Amino acid sequence: MDLAERYSLIRQRFDRRAIQYQRNPLTHWVGHSEMAALRRMIPPPPRRGELPALDFGCGTGRVTILLLELGYRVTGYDLSPGMLDQARAAIGERLDVIFTSDPQSLGGSWPLIVALGVLDYYPDCSLLFQEWRRLLCPGGTLIVTIPNARSPLARLYAFFSRFTCQAYVNTLAELTSAAQSAGFTLTGTQVAFPRRWWGHTIVTVFQLQTP
Ligand SMILES: C[S@@+](CC[C@H](N)C(=O)[O-])C[C@H]1O[C@@H](n2cnc3c(N)ncnc32)[C@H](O)[C@@H]1O
């Protein structure tokens, strides 16, 4: 399956389950722990409303809400119009947020990109790093998560995801190697749900090296 086919499959699968997405108990419990990790790891902007942030694969908007609370101006981008509709309904009209499913509208030079639960759906975690490299400014911060290959719960999640949208587990070493090949340096990592080496999600912070 090439990347365009994968995007199309992900869009279809998430459009279909957009209304149910937030009601899934696993999404809710794991998400609570992931959001707490993000809150600890996202650098606050120097002044409210000054810096833009891209919530890449924003889904129904929970990271968008966190970024807004922290004081960023946020663009929520997602392949799935159905998920974006849920995000718009949850957040409403605000001057400091826009939502889009058009990759052409994203431009470049973002100081911060957060992608929670996005790499899950890519068998090769290097696939999206080239895109993030193009979107970030030099020295920009990228925060991404992966389901932890060392977690029994994440393996169970990957197994059952075949009935919704096939997910894949990865190790921190595999993720870091893919990121390094695209010019990123790992600057922070935490494990969520629970905060143990065998927890479900690895949350990582990468810095794009300056040329
Ligand atoms: C598990 S959901 C997570 C949503 C949100 N980040 C959250 O944590 O609630 C994954 C989302 O990523 C989106 N997605 C996956 N690959 C994407 C891509 N290449 N570009 C934009 N969105 C993508 C999917 O459409 C889906 O809405």
Mean pLDDT for back-to-back runs of 10 residues, the chain (211 residues): 92 94 84 96 95 98 98 98 97 96 95 98 92 96 98 96 93 98 98 96 95 73
Q: Is 78 in the pocket of ligand 1 (CB under 6 A)?
A: yes
Q: Is 76 in the pocket of ligand 1 (CB under 6 A)?
A: no
Identify whether the C-beta of residue 128 lies closer than 8 Å to the C-beta of residue 115. Answer: yes
Task: Kindly give the distance from the C-alpha atom of residue 59 to the centroid of ligand 1, in angstroms, as a whole number.
Answer: 5
Q: For the chain, what are the domain ranges?
A: 3-208
Backbone angles phi, psi at 189, to 5 degrees: -150, 145
C-alpha angle 76/81/82, rounded to 5°?
A: 110
DSSP string computed for 36-62: HHHHHHSPPPSSTTTSEEEEET-TTSH
Q: How far apart are CA 148 and CA 168, in angstroms?
A: 9
Q: Is 203 in the pocket of ligand 1 (CB under 6 A)?
A: no
Q: Is 63 in the pocket of ligand 1 (CB under 6 A)?
A: yes
Which pLDDT tens digit goes with each residue over 99-118?
Answer: 999 999 999 899 999 999 99
Residue 63, token pair as written in the block: 């990271």
Q: Of all protein residues, whose CA lies closest to atom 27 belonging to ligand 1?
A: 59
The residues pairing with 38 across neighbouring beta strands, listed in sequence order, are: none
Asked if CATH classification 3.30.450.20 holds for the domain at 3-208, the reply, yes or no, is no
pTM passes above 0.85: yes
Q: How far apart are CA 32 and CA 200, in angstroms?
A: 12
Q: How far is CA 28 from the centre of its chain?
A: 15
Task: Kindly give the distance from the C-alpha atom of residue 113 to the centroid of ligand 1, in angstroms, as a whole number.
Answer: 13
Task: Kindly give the distance from the C-alpha atom of residue 151 to the centroid of ligand 1, in angstroms, as a whole number.
Answer: 21
Task: Kindly give the distance from the C-alpha atom of residue 133 to the centroid of ligand 1, in angstroms, as a whole number.
Answer: 18
